[in-house]
Structure 1
Amino acid sequence: MPEAPADSECAAQFRDKVVDELIERGEIVSKEVEGAMRKVERHKFAPEATLEDAYKPYNAVVTKRNEHGNAVSSVSAPQIQAFMLEQARIRPGMRVLEIGSGGLNAAYLAELVGDVGEVTTVDIDPEVTDRAARLLAEAGYPDVRVILADAIEGVPAHAPYDVIMVTVGAWDIPPAWVQQLAEDGRLVVPLRIRGLQRSVAFQREANRLVSTSVRICGFVPMQGPGAHDSQFLLVTGTDEIALRFDDGLPAEPNLLDNAVLSPRAETWTGVTVKRGEPIDMLQMYMATVMPGFCLMSVDKDLDSGIVAPWNKRFSMAAVDGPNFAYITPRLTEDEQFFEYGVHALGPDGPEFAAKIADHVRTWDQEHRGGPGPRIAVYPAGTPDDRIPELPGGRVIDKDHCRVTLSWPSTTTAAGDQGTLHHTTEQGE
Structure 2
Amino acid sequence: LEPGHRVLELGAGTGYNAALMAHLVGDSGAVTTIDLDEDVVDGARAHLASAGFDRVRVALGDGALGYPAAAPFDRIILTVGAWDISPAWREQLRRDGRLVLPLAVAGTQKSVAFAHAGDELVSLSISECLFMSLRGAFAAPPSRVALGDGPGLHLYVRDPAGVDPVAAHALLKATPADHSSGVHAIGREVYTGLVPWMALRESEFCWLEATGAAADATAVPYLYGVVGKYRSAPGVFEGTSAAFLMRPASDSCPSEPEREPKPFELYVRGFGSGALEDRLRRHARAWDAAGRPTSSGLRIRALPIDATYTPNAAEHVVEKRWTRLVLDWPHATDDTVK
TM-score (norm 1): 0.64
- CA deviations on 1:114-155 (whole Å, 9 max, x unpaired) are 232221111122222222222212212222222222212101
What residue number does 1:211 align with? 123
* 1:372–1:407 Cα contact (<8 Å) kept: yes
Distance 1:145 1:243, change over 3 A: same
Q: Which has the higher contact order (CA 8 A, sep 6+)?
A: 2
* 2:108–2:196 Cα contact (<8 Å) kept: yes
* 2:208–2:220 Cα contact (<8 Å) kept: no
Write 1 or 2 for the structure with the bigger share of strand. 2
Say whether 1:375 aligns with 2:310: no
What residue number does 1:39 align with? none
Say whether 1:405 aligns with 2:336: no
What residue number does 2:58 align with? 146
Q: Name the aligned partner's letter for residue 109 of structure 2.
A: Q
**Displacement after TM superposition at 1:319 (Å):** 2.3
- Tell me how far apart the structure 2 counterparts of residues 280 and 372 of structure 1 sit (CA, whole Å): 15
SS of 1:221 mapped into structure 2:
coil
Say whether 1:340 aligns with 2:254: no
| Residue 314 of structure 2, aligned match among 372, 392, 403 | 392
* 1:367–1:408 Cα contact (<8 Å) kept: no
Distance 1:264 1:409, change over 3 A: farther
**Displacement after TM superposition at 1:336 (Å):** 4.7
**Displacement after TM superposition at 1:301 (Å):** 4.7
- Tell me how far apart the structure 2 counterparts of residues 302 and 138 of structure 1 sit (CA, whole Å): 42
- Tell me how far apart the structure 1 counterparts of residues 152 and 41 of structure 2 sit (CA, whole Å): 40
Identity between Structure 1 and Structure 2 (%): 35
Report matched runs for 1:27-426 at 5 Å.
90-102=1-13, 103-193=15-105, 196-228=108-140, 230-233=142-145, 242-245=154-157, 247-249=158-160, 259=171, 264-274=176-186, 278-282=189-193, 283-298=195-210, 301=214, 308-310=221-223, 311=225, 313-320=231-238, 322-330=240-248, 336-347=262-273, 349=274, 351-368=275-292, 371-383=296-308, 386-388=309-311, 390-408=312-330, 410=332
Would you say how many aligned residue pairs link Structure 1 and Structure 2?
314
SS of 2:84 mapped into structure 1:
coil
Distance 1:303 1:330, change over 3 A: closer
* 2:146–2:165 Cα contact (<8 Å) kept: no
What residue number does 1:5 align with? none
- CA deviations on 1:178-213 (whole Å, 9 max, x unpaired) are 111111321101112355322111112233222122
TM-score (norm 2): 0.79
Unpaired segments of 5 or more residues in structure 1?
Answer: 1-89, 412-428
- Tell me how far apart the structure 1 counterparts of residues 179 and 330 of structure 2 sit (CA, whole Å): 27
The CA RMSD measured in Å over matched residues stands at 3.3
